[in-house]
Amino acid sequence: IFWLKLQEMMKELCEKHWLGEVVAYIYVMAFQKRGLLHAYNLLIYSTKSKIQSIEKYDLCVSAEIPDHKLNPLAYETITTIMMHGPYGILNTSLPCMKDGK
């Protein structure tokens, strides 16, 4: 299923130009510490599709922590699983840490 979803995402990005015209790409798949498959993608966009100013980044990229009163499950998930750091001996209780590593 992961492979099919990755292929579909790359098709949408590269052929349908969801985020702009892609002129080159590469991706690498790897297993994370807990055995989950993960894909790292590098997309190279045409000059006309690249974001040209810092202000335009805010229109494309955002991150928001859900309100803990309106959506407690989403808040709990985001703050315990998706937010990381610091690593190592400074914080050995992170979900991605295994046996203090």
pLDDT of residue 85: 67
* Spatial distance between the Cα atoms of 13 and 68, rounded to a whole number of angstroms: 33
Site of tokens 């702009």 = 20
34 phi and psi angles, rounded to 5 deg: -95, 10
pLDDT of residue 65: 92
Q: Please tell me whether the overall predicted TM-score, pTM, comes out greater than 0.85 for this model.
A: no
pLDDT of residue 55: 87
pLDDT of residue 84: 67
CA 2 to the chain's CA centroid? 15
pLDDT of residue 5: 93
The tokens describing 99, both together, are 């046996």
SS3 38: strand
Q: What is the DSSP letter of 67?
A: P
Q: In the chain, which stretches have pLDDT less than 70?
A: 84-85, 94-96, 100-101
